Amino acid sequence: MDKVSSIQERIVQKTQFEAFFATYQMLSDRYDKSVLDLYDENAVISTSRIMADGSTRSMSFSSDQFKALALSSWEAGKKANDRSVFSDVEIKLSENKARITANRYSLSKCYNDEGYCMVVYKNDSGELRILEEHTASPQLSNCPDQANLIATIEAYAAYFNKQVPIDIDEESRLVQVTASGTMWFINMN
């Protein structure tokens, strides 16, 4: 392959990943459950929670665990308009993958996650799928309107508690969600 063809191929590939991420954002914003179909069955989703004392608590979920959690909180999130706004999106290509980084602003936490990262790859069928995703968010909201935040957290807790127990996978079960002011606590066994 000559140099021009190689450059053209990379441009086409990058455009495909840009379109994929735009679709991800659109489906997420619309609370369209088909966004969950964009995750590969072997995807790993990780999150870092910045606790009130400054420490960090990290959690990872398999694709199935993440989808179960997302579906169980779908309606509460939609009612609370819990969305993310992405900016400064960068796409770095490698082989049949792309590492997408961005600033992710959480509307419900008034927090800018500068370390947002998603790895997308082209599977054997030629479809783009999310292989990895990492987010970070604070335990406490940075939003000035605490009354609205408290009401949102209480609504999430009430919604989840109507659904429990929720089997996340064979070994994990969500048994209770507790609201306490601007924090919520998830109890699993």
List pLDDT tens digits, range 47-99.
Answer: 998 888 889 999 999 999 999 989 888 888 887 778 899 999 999 999 889 99
143-155: pLDDT as tens digits: 776 666 677 777 7
What's the chain's average pLDDT?
Answer: 87
The answer to whether the Cα torsion of 41, 71, 115, 84 is positive or negative is: positive
Alpha-carbon gap, residue 144 to 88, rounded angstroms:
25
Residue 111's pLDDT band (boundaries 50, 70, 90)? confident
* Apex 102 CA angle, 133 and 55, nearest 5: 65
Amino acid at position 177, single letter: V
Q: Is the pTM of this model over 0.85?
A: no
Q: CB-based contacts of 187: which residues, under 8 Å, 6+ apart? A: 174, 175, 176, 177, 178
Alpha-carbon gap, residue 145 to 185, rounded angstroms:
20
Q: What average pLDDT score do residues 150-162 get?
A: 76
Domains along the chain? 3-140 (3.10.450.50)
Give residue for tokens 């927090």.
Answer: 111
